[in-house]
Structure 1
Amino acid sequence: MDYLIKPTIVFLLSSAQMSIDDRINEQFENVTGWFVDAIFSEIPITEEVGIPWVLLVLILGASYFTLYFKGINLGGFSTSVKIVQGKYDDLEPDPVGSYTESSSSVEDDIPDTIGIEGQYGEVTHFQALTAALSATVGLGNIAGVAIALSVGGPGATFWMVLVGFLGMASKFVECTLGVKYREIDENGTVYGGPMYYLKKGLRERGLDKFGKILAVLFAVMCIGGSFGGGNMFQVNQAFQLFEYVSGGKDSFIFGKGWLFGLVMAGLVAIVIIGGIKKIAKVTDKIVPAMVVIYVLAVLAVLAINYEALPGAFRSIFDGAFRPEGIAGGFVGVLIQGFKRAAFSNEAGIGSASIAHAAVKTTYPASEGMVALLEPFIDTVVVCTMTALVLIVSGQLVIGATISDAQGVILTSNALKSGISWFPYLLSFAVILFAFSSMISWSYYGYQAWSFLFGRGKRMEYTYKTLFCFFVIVGAAASLGSVTDFSDAMIFSMLVPNMIGLFVLLPKVKEELVVYRQAIANIKTHGE
């Protein structure tokens, strides 16, 4: 690993006149501009407002999936909760027979190895859900909501909730496919995600070469996304808030983003060496804890300002349809809500299917049902609560354009209006959000890396070393350049993924019918 470690040390310890943070930032900005412009080019809707084409694809796709599966977002919700609770665990038959039956026709599968030592997955339904949630419930729920409401007003909240609801169907589709087309090696290690259902699923549909091209394209973008949105963006915002609450320019850490990143890189390295099982053991504790901490803090502020809640809800519904003069009127508010919800829950991007593919199940649709809970928790619950606390605290300046760093601080100040020490609690929660997102995205990135470069230990540790290096880069780079690069890399993943989802919808429907029949049989038998 000397070829990676030595240049890294030389780069970080350079004694040039520019600070380390400035050197990192200058080099980073030089290579991101053209790519960001291409991904987020807008389709004009009105003279003042345009909608990014990637956002339009996500929303239309989610709407179609909702109609195709007849509102599974609502109809499957109670079943999803029961699966996570373990109420349908008795449905799981012998793992070898079931998996072989559904996958034996697909080349490159190794159905016989799946039964070794009873292995047919690596984590439980709950662990898969928390591992995927840890990558989505995070800083977008804090800074992103503040930005949406500052630009579009309280009405943007309504549209965020709507997109969260629609996104539940997208998560169901992609995560069902993630389990159906996964591969399991001789050691029981699971490899899954869009790379595999694009390659193998499209081959079943007679699109072999096209599927391989899409799979490679997705893998490349996923690796970039893991370094960007799943890594640099997370640690950058965590550092920004930590620096702010510890004294700003007077803080001992001011201007030392690389030092904060170095500490975080060490913590991340300790966890990611152990793979998905180690990651799941961490996330199934961190995710519930951080969500509870954040939600309790928000609830406390809402309780203090309970008299303002009816007015807050009124402003959300009134602003959703009558936002005259704000961000281009109705269309502007709608787009702000759509944008931040889509950026927050990542439904349709395909990333979550990588984590869900590792679940212990022989029914692909069972994990698809579990996955549809993600956008509900991430967007419908957490984003809505953030919006409410921002509205009732009176911190919003409607019509203002703010940065991501200012968004985090705005939410911090909203919590501070309730209890003075809440910003410290938020700072701790943000670091947990960032840490859990990074370890989950390291798994996503490694899965894509192994798809392209092989599954050997040398390739694994090469990727993980690079990932930890980018933790340091992300903490030191300017937030603007990190945010642009992060969003662009992650949202470029939707192009190959959405093509695959539409082509393979009949396969998802087949799996849903099989699973619902299994549930019906067990209920009949129980009676």
Structure 2
Amino acid sequence: MAEEAEDGLLGTIEKKINSVFDPVATGLGDFVFGEVSLFGITFPWIVAWLVLAGAVFTIYFGFIQVRGLKLALQVLRGKHSKPDDPGEITHFQALTSAVSGTVGLGNIAGVGVAVTIGGAGATFWMVLCGLLGMSTKFVECTLGVRYRDQHPDGTVSGGPMQYLSKGVAEKLPGAPGKAIGKILAALAAIMILFFGIGGGNMFQANQTVTQIRNITGGDDSPFSGDGTALILGIVLAVIVGAVIIGGIKSIGKVTSRLVPSMGIIYISACAIVILFNATEVPSAVSSIFSGAFTGEGVVGGVIGALIVGFTRAAFSNEAGLGSAPIAHSAVKTKYPATEGLVALLEPFIDTVVVCTMTALTIVIADTTLWNDAKADYAADGTTVDGVTVTSSAFETALPWFPHILTVAVVLFAISTMITWAYYGQKAWTHLFGRSKSSERVYQLVFCAFIVIGAVLSFGSVLAFTDAVLFLLALINIIGLYLLAPFVKRELARFQQSLRSRGGGDGDGDDKELAAVEEVR
């Protein structure tokens, strides 16, 4: 009892919860993030699984991320859309909704870790992994639209729950295929729901409160007093709740403004640092390329840089996890491949643009803190503070940047919570039924966990939800391999529609269907 009084009620609750989840989180984490060795370098097998999928789909679809880029931008601008297309939100809103769930602290802290451990050359491999992930996003988001459920009220539900259930049944006709599809879909829903309630909100809320406290004085911060974390948690819950109650249309409207805003703030800060150190740009770019292939000064050499870069990129852009198709499936379109094309822009924005800007900023700044972090890591193999490394790079040109970083963290956190609230809701309704009362119960539970996450850290719970999310990739990518031929048919159907329209008259559905049958 004395120990409980010393720790306080919240500390005692946190310890008890962690004690229950510790063995479960450790066991699941050991499996999901279990390491394999390559040339003496160890790395999580799940990363290899994600990267391999990107490489396979890139070849299978003939480098769709390159040849389809121009068409993707046209679709994003609404060139091939009609107001009466089935769905709820525009292509742009669907993209920003999905991006808001991936662009976050991983782009700030994760990149700092990658460059510190893997050297400047890790940046090259991050970019390559992001480019490969574009093809995986194309596949899963095309399937998300193809197999989505369209409800009588005009709303839609899509994602791995739908395409694993209906797609596997279509691919493997008969009772066994139908049963396998339902089991895979239920497992996917459970995993998404666990992360949505445990990781997509609690971690974000906790990190937001921590950053606000750090920037306002740490232990002496006015936000470090009793009850302040609870108040901040309630404020975050109210903001998120006000958005998610309106559904994907409300989410799309908010993220279509929020994501560009936070992107402009962050990329502008990167650009300022780069401009302040413009003379160092050539040598920084040179070190990125040379470090990728020579491995000088990198833990584990070339393979070390490659593995670190691939790992951080895979954890950042979520390609292959099955989460993004839930947002993309709400798009207004009658051609599933159109949203697949738009979705392939997501890893490009998240990894190729945002992560690269962060990495280039760190390499160019070449701060004492970064070098100290590298020395610490080389000494003990574990000491890396990614957020601090990234922040110190910005401070070389912007001494006041920690305040901007706080704004960015808050925006990233809110946007991530909003998007994962929607993902979790779709998983919830798949498992427990779709009704207004069911959705309201979920939304209340989700917002309650935002408040809880702001007050407690729940280390083992968060470790468990992370493992669950990446376990989803194992199931999801098996489904993508099985259903990839259907994606080819959808792409052929859309391409045929463009040829049939000629000047864009919109007529040609018969020709499209004939073309699809020919592909089959």
**TM-score normalised according to structure 1 size:** 0.88
Look up the equivalent residue of 2:77 and give its one-letter code: Q
For the 8 Å contact 1:155–1:320, the answer to whether it is kept is yes
The match for 1:296 is 268
Determine which of 172, 180, 188 is the counterpart of 1:210: 180
- Give the Cα separation in 2 of the matches to 1:161 and 1:408: 20
- Give the Cα separation in 1 of the matches to 2:222 and 2:461: 23
**Matches for 1:30-429 after TM superposition, within 5 Å:** 30=19, 31=21, 32-47=25-40, 49-89=41-81, 120-205=86-171, 206=173, 207-254=177-224, 257-324=229-296, 326-395=298-367, 396-397=370-371, 398=374, 400-401=376-377, 406-429=385-408
For the 8 Å contact 1:405–1:479, the answer to whether it is kept is no
For the 8 Å contact 1:21–1:258, the answer to whether it is kept is no
The alpha carbon displacement at 1:388 in A equals: 0.9
State which drifts further: 153-162 or 244-253.
244-253
CA 1:479 to 1:315, structure 2 compared with 1: closer, same or farther past 3 Å? farther
The alpha carbon displacement at 1:173 in A equals: 0.3
CA 1:404 to 1:132, structure 2 compared with 1: closer, same or farther past 3 Å? farther
Residue aligned with 2:169, SS: helix
For the 8 Å contact 1:157–1:337, the answer to whether it is kept is yes
The alpha carbon displacement at 1:323 in A equals: 1.8
The match for 2:492 is 513
The alpha carbon displacement at 1:28 in A equals: 4.0
For the 8 Å contact 1:234–1:438, the answer to whether it is kept is yes
Q: Where does the alignment leave 5 or more consecutive residues of structure 2 unmatched?
A: 506-520
- Give the Cα separation in 1 of the matches to 2:416 and 2:382: 21
Look up the equivalent residue of 1:333 and give its one-letter code: A
The match for 1:4 is none
For the 8 Å contact 1:356–1:371, the answer to whether it is kept is yes
The match for 1:466 is 445
The alpha carbon displacement at 1:50 in A equals: 1.4
Count residues in correspondence: 485
For the 8 Å contact 2:376–2:384, the answer to whether it is kept is no
The alpha carbon displacement at 1:327 in A equals: 2.5
1:272-315 CA deviation, whole Å, 9 max, x = no partner? Answer: 11111111111011000000011111111111111111111111
For the 8 Å contact 1:20–1:258, the answer to whether it is kept is no
- Give the Cα separation in 2 of the matches to 1:218 and 1:353: 12
For the 8 Å contact 1:156–1:336, the answer to whether it is kept is yes
The match for 2:509 is none
Look up the equivalent residue of 1:221 and give its one-letter code: M
For the 8 Å contact 1:269–1:468, the answer to whether it is kept is yes
- Give the Cα separation in 2 of the matches to 1:516 and 1:27: 57
- Give the Cα separation in 2 of the matches to 1:313 and 1:198: 42
- Give the Cα separation in 1 of the matches to 2:483 and 2:238: 40
Residue aligned with 1:493, SS: helix
For the 8 Å contact 1:139–1:430, the answer to whether it is kept is yes
Cα-Cα RMSD:
2.1
The match for 2:454 is 475
Look up the equivalent residue of 1:251 and give its one-letter code: S
The alpha carbon displacement at 1:86 in A equals: 1.2
CA 1:327 to 1:480, structure 2 compared with 1: closer, same or farther past 3 Å? farther
- Give the Cα separation in 1 of the matches to 2:237 and 2:116: 33
CA 1:456 to 1:42, structure 2 compared with 1: closer, same or farther past 3 Å? same
- Give the Cα separation in 1 of the matches to 2:129 and 2:155: 34
Determine which of 426, 436, 444 is the counterpart of 2:423: 444
Residue aligned with 2:268, SS: helix
CA 1:525 to 1:130, structure 2 compared with 1: closer, same or farther past 3 Å? closer
Look up the equivalent residue of 1:43 and give its one-letter code: V
For the 8 Å contact 1:135–1:441, the answer to whether it is kept is yes
The alpha carbon displacement at 1:134 in A equals: 0.4
Look up the equivalent residue of 2:245 and give its one-letter code: I
Look up the equivalent residue of 1:289 and give its one-letter code: S
CA 1:404 to 1:183, structure 2 compared with 1: closer, same or farther past 3 Å? farther
Residue aligned with 2:166, SS: helix
The alpha carbon displacement at 1:471 in A equals: 1.4
State which drifts further: 396-405 or 312-321.
396-405
The alpha carbon displacement at 1:483 in A equals: 5.4
Residue aligned with 1:51, SS: strand
The match for 1:430 is 409
CA 1:419 to 1:500, structure 2 compared with 1: closer, same or farther past 3 Å? same
Residue aligned with 1:19, SS: helix
For the 8 Å contact 1:232–1:482, the answer to whether it is kept is no
The alpha carbon displacement at 1:476 in A equals: 3.3
- Give the Cα separation in 2 of the matches to 1:197 and 1:66: 21
The alpha carbon displacement at 1:521 in A equals: 2.6
- Give the Cα separation in 2 of the matches to 1:200 and 1:139: 35
Q: Does 1:495 align with 2:487?
A: no
Q: Does 1:19 align with 2:8?
A: yes
The match for 1:6 is none
Residue aligned with 1:359, SS: coil
State which drifts further: 224-233 or 450-459.
224-233
Look up the equivalent residue of 1:136 and give its one-letter code: T
- Give the Cα separation in 1 of the matches to 2:486 and 2:333: 17
Look up the equivalent residue of 1:19 and give its one-letter code: G
Q: Where does the alignment leave 5 or more consecutive residues of structure 1 unmatched?
A: 1-14, 96-119
For the 8 Å contact 2:203–2:457, the answer to whether it is kept is no
Look up the equivalent residue of 1:215 and give its one-letter code: A
State which drifts further: 305-314 or 437-446.
305-314
The alpha carbon displacement at 1:430 in A equals: 1.0
Look up the equivalent residue of 1:250 and give its one-letter code: D
State which drifts further: 167-176 or 223-232.
223-232
CA 1:146 to 1:481, structure 2 compared with 1: closer, same or farther past 3 Å? farther
The alpha carbon displacement at 1:400 in A equals: 4.2
CA 1:234 to 1:404, structure 2 compared with 1: closer, same or farther past 3 Å? farther
CA 1:46 to 1:478, structure 2 compared with 1: closer, same or farther past 3 Å? farther
